[in-house]
Structure 1
Amino acid sequence: MSAIRYLLILPLAAVVAYITLVGVVYFSQRALLYPGAGATAAPEPTSWGETVHVKTPDGEMLQGLYSQGDSDKPCVLLFFGNGDRAGNYGFLAQALATRRIGLLAISYRGYPGSTGSPSERGLLTDGLAAFDWLSARAGSRIVVLGRSLGTGVAVNTAGNRPAMGVILVSPYLSVLLVAQARYPFLPVKALLKDPFRSDLKIAKVRQPKLFLHGRLDDSIPLSSGQALYEIAAEPKRMVIYDGAGHNDIWNDSMIGEVIRFVEALQGNRP
């Protein structure tokens, strides 16, 4: 092959390779965004609390784990991260139970024990359905807690339901901006199906808010969480953990912050 012909073919090959990459990313994006989901997800074993089921308005059935607290105490509604499991939060349920505070952790559609397939619209529907289910049992004493991807579900839920307060662990301005920073060589805005624009929804969240973030987080940069905090309305508070990253942020200190925040909400309630 002559050098001239090689130079002509090389750019074409690069273009074809790039288009192929874009196609692969587009069609596999939900598998990347929701790694904890699976088409044949088996029910999750009950590692704490009671197994419950929540029916969504669009016909899906969600599995959750529920630890009931005292009737005069708040209950925490947990939305976990994209690769997480409800069963992983026994440590939080136990800590809350020592203060007689309940916990409901819901498994999103497509995740273990729940029907359907995940999408932003689906997860936001799941969040509202879980709140309504819990409200029928715990009344208006609900504190919404979101972690990582689940912070987008928490922000939407609190903006559309009368939660007492909101706790956001490793939050983001949007999945869109996080993806753009991670994949600057791709036309992310044109490709992304589920942008989770918390930046456009946080203004509706008027309840007290607690932001918790690790300074060493390399999955959702602290700068993204701080930016969301800056545009959020008062009352709000942010705690930054200097030695923590994304997956090692839970410790006794942070659990203590969560409990103090929840109990302060109860104390301020008329």
Structure 2
Amino acid sequence: MSTTRYLLILPLMAVVAYMAVVGLLYFSQRTLLFPGAGAAPVAEQARWGESVHVKTPDGEMLQGLYSQGDSDKPCVLLFFGNGDRVDNYAFLAQALAAHRIGLLAISYRGYPGSTGSPSEQGLLTDGIAAFNWLSAHDGSEIVVMGRSLGTGVAVNTAAQRPAAGVILVSPYLSVLSVAQRHYPYLPVQLLLKDPFRSDLNIGKVRQPKLFLHGRLDDSIPLSSGQALYEIAPEPKRMVIYDGAGHNDIFNDGMVGDVIRFVEALEGNRPRSRHESEGEDHSGGSASNP
């Protein structure tokens, strides 16, 4: 093959290879976004809580683990990250139970113990169904808590249901913005099926909000969590943990921050201006994002 002909074919080969990568990512994106789906079921006798089942309005059955607290204490509704499981939260359930606070952790559709296949709309539907179930079965005020991917579910749920408060652990402005950061060479906005636009929903979340983020997070950068914090309405507070990344953010200090936030909400006690507007730190540093 002549050099001239090779030079003409080379750009075409590059285009074909690029399109192949784009096609592969497009068709495998939900496998990448929901890596915890389809794993082994949750045991009926798990390490914590009672196994419960929540029916969604579109006919799916979700498994969850539920630890009931005192009726005069708020109950936490947890939406976990994309590769997580409900039975991984015995440490949180036990810490909350020591303060007589309940916990419901729900397994999204397609995740261990639940029917269906995950999608953004599906997970948002699951969040509302879980809140409705807990409201009917517990009777306590509900604090919605999301971690990583689950922060999008938490924001949407709190925007549509009367949660007493919202806790967002490693939140993002949107999955779209995070994907654009990780894949800057791809037309992500055209390809992404599940953008999880928390930036479009956070303005509806008027309840007290606690943002928790690790400064060393390389999965969902702190800048993304700060951007969501900046556009969130008051009351709000952000805690930044200097030594924490994405998967090591949970420790005794962070769980303590969660418990203090939940207990401050008891009886819908109004928060002070200092609590509402301040930014604090626990094992980290505070700065105005």
TM-score (norm 1): 0.98
Secondary structure at 2:89 match in 1: helix
CA drift at 1:73: 1.1
User: Deviation at 1:140?
Assistant: 5.0
Structure 1 distance, partners of 2:71, 2:81, is 28
CA–CA separation in structure 2 for the residues paired with 1:248 and 1:72: 32
SS in 2 for 1:53: strand
- Structure 1 position 267, deviation (Å): 5.0
Q: How big is each residue's C-alpha offset from its partner over 1:137-171, in whole Å with a ceiling of 9 and x where there is no partner?
A: 22250000000000000000000000000000000
Q: Which digits, 9 at most, give the CA deviation of each residue in 1:12-51, with x for residues without a partner?
A: 100100111110000000000000002xx44212121000
- Please give the alpha-carbon distance, in whole angstroms, between the structure 1 residues aligned to 2:267 and 2:163: 15
Hey, what's the Cα distance between the residues in 2 that align with 1:43 and 1:72?
33
Are 1:30 and 2:30 an aligned pair? Answer: yes
Please name the residue that 2:282 is paired with: none
Query: Match for 2:71: what amino acid?
Result: S
Task: Measure the CA separation in 1 of the matches of 2:196 and 2:213.
Answer: 18
Match of 2:280 in 1: none
1:111 corresponding residue in structure 2: 111
Superposed displacement of residue 2, structure 1: 1.0
Mapped partners of 2:207, 2:101: distance in 1:
19
Q: How many corresponding residue pairs?
A: 268
- The answer to whether the Cα contact below 8 Å between 1:140 and 1:163 also exists between their aligned partners in 2 is no
Provide the residue aligned with 2:6 in structure 1.
6
1:175 matched to 2:170: no
The AA in structure 1 aligned to 2:120 is E
C-alpha contact (below 8 Å) 2:75/2:140 kept by paired residues: no
Matches within 5 A, 1:214-229: 214-229=214-229
Aligned to 1:199: 199
Q: 3-state SS of the aligned residue for 2:265?
A: helix
Q: Which moved more, 1:134-143 or 1:250-259?
A: 134-143
Q: Does 1:43 align with 2:41?
A: yes
Q: Distance in 2 between matches of 1:25 and 1:103?
A: 36
Deviations 1:226-262 (A, max 9, x none): 0100000000000000000000000111000000000
Alignment match, 2:162: 162
Residue 55 of structure 1, CA deviation = 0.2
**Amino acid paired to 1:123:** L
Contact 1:140/1:164 (8 A) holds in 2: no
Amino acid corresponding to residue 42 of structure 2 in structure 1: E
Q: Measure the CA separation in 1 of the matches of 2:205 and 2:89.
A: 25
**What is the CA–CA distance in structure 2 between the aligned matches of 1:32 and 1:22, rounded to whole Å?**
14
Shift of 1:268: 3.9
Post-superposition CA distance 1:88-136 (Å, at most 9, x none)? 1000000000000000000000000000000000000000000000000
TM-score under structure 2 normalisation?
0.91
Q: Is the 8 A contact 2:71 2:140 kept in 1?
A: no
Q: Which residue of 2 aligns with 1:254?
A: 254
Partner of 1:87: 87
Alignment of 1:118-133 (within 5 A): 118-133=118-133
Structure 2, unaligned runs of 5 or more: 271-289
Q: Which amino acid aligns with 2:130?
A: A
In the alignment, the residues of structure 2 paired with residue 129 and residue 35 of structure 1 have an alpha-carbon distance, to the nearest angstrom, of 22
For 1:85 and 1:17, the matched residues in 2 are separated by 36
Contact 2:165 2:209 in 1 (8 A): yes
Match of residue 263 from structure 1: 263
- Map of 2:284 onto structure 1: none
Report the alpha carbon displacement of residue 72 of structure 1 after superposing the two structures with TM: 1.4
Native 8 Å contact 1:93 1:102 kept in 2: yes
1:235-250 correspondence runs (5 A): 235-250=235-250
In structure 2, distance between residues paired with 1:36 and 1:47: 19
Once superposed, what is the RMSD of the aligned Cα atoms? Answer: 1.0
